[in-house]
């Protein structure tokens, strides 16, 4: 592993410390324009998410009034009741988004897929840089918010379910993540600029507690007056 990634992971608590844990969980308070645009306002406004750190799995509980929890894995999405019985499921869920645009409404299973894919990626970043098959390159300096950040272009393997194969991670002078860029392929390749802030330390790991996602313009700047998604995390736990 190259020195830059080693330094980034060390700034967040270190890969050895991260690998002591198998799950990360947090209470989420979510807002922004996306949920209403997709016909799912209120479903996941407040919930608890749990993700695996050594496999691609995530769950939101409760999943609104629809289910006790969701179950996201690479090949399938499912909704379960309180007795862990499957209420509904969909294999290869990404295929169900074919032809979608940003304005296309989602089914409950599609919402569960989006939320699971998103939070698994977010909570495992930046340690995904050490995941098998993930490649990255230094894209140089980027000036924003009065700081000079370092930009990394990240390429994810086909074995991982992510929003887009090629993404970007920006780190500040302290090597903590400041921003993520990706194109949401399942929503018409909508470009997003995802900002993280308000870090806290949990069991030795540095984790941001605020996430704000905006549309991204061709020049890389955000559309600051259009908040697509807001996520506030609390009661963060690693186990």
Contact 234, 209 (CB under 8 A): yes
**Average pLDDT for runs of 10 along the chain of length 239:** 88 98 98 97 98 98 97 97 98 95 95 98 98 96 96 97 96 98 94 98 98 97 97 98
Q: Distance between CA atoms of 202 and 122, rounded to whole angstroms?
A: 16
Q: What digits encode the pLDDT tens for the residues 110-130?
A: 999 999 999 999 999 999 999
Q: What digits encode the pLDDT tens for the residues 174-220?
A: 999 999 999 999 999 999 999 999 999 999 999 999 999 999 999 99
Give the pLDDT of residue 173: 97
Nearest to 63 by CA among 18, 99, 107, 111: 111
Give the pLDDT of residue 29: 98
Give the pLDDT of residue 172: 98
What is the pTM for the complete model shown? Answer: 0.96
- Report CA-CA distances (Å) from 9 to 96, 98, 166: 35, 36, 20
Give the pLDDT of residue 1: 52
Contact 25, 92 (CB under 8 A): no
- β-pair partners for 177: 171
DSSP 222: B
Nearest to 133 by CA among 154, 167, 156, 152: 156
Q: What is the mean pLDDT of the chain?
A: 97
Take residue 171 and report the two structure tokens written for it: 């780190």
């Amino acid at each position: 592993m190259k020195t830059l990634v080693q330094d980034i992971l060390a700034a967040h608590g270190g890969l050895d410390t991260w690998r002591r844990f198998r799950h990360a969980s947090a209470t989420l308070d979510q807002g922004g324009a996306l949920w209403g645009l997709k016909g799912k306002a209120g479903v996941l406004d407040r919930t608890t998410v749990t993700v695996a750190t050594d496999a691609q799995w995530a769950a939101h509980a409760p999943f609104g009034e629809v289910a006790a929890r969701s179950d996201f894995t690479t090949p399938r999405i499912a909704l379960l009741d309180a007795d862990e019985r499957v209420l509904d499921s969909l294999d290869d869920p990404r295929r169900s988004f074919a032809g979608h645009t940003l304005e296309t409404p989602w089914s409950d299973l599609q919402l569960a897929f989006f939320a699971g894919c998103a939070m698994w990626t977010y909570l495992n970043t930046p340690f995904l840089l050490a995941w098998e098959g993930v490649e990255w390159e230094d894209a140089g300096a980027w000036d924003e918010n009065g700081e000079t950040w370092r930009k990394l272009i990240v390429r994810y393997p086909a074995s991982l379910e992510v929003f887009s194969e090629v993404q970007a991670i920006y780190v500040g002078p302290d090597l903590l993540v400041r921003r993520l860029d990706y194109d949401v392929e399942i929503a018409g390749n909508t470009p997003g600029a995802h900002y993280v802030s308000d870090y806290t330390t949990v069991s030795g790991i540095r984790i941001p507690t605020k996430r704000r996602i905006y549309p991204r313009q061709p020049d890389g700047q955000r559309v600051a007056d259009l908040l697509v998604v807001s996520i506030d995390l609390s009661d963060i736990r690693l186990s």
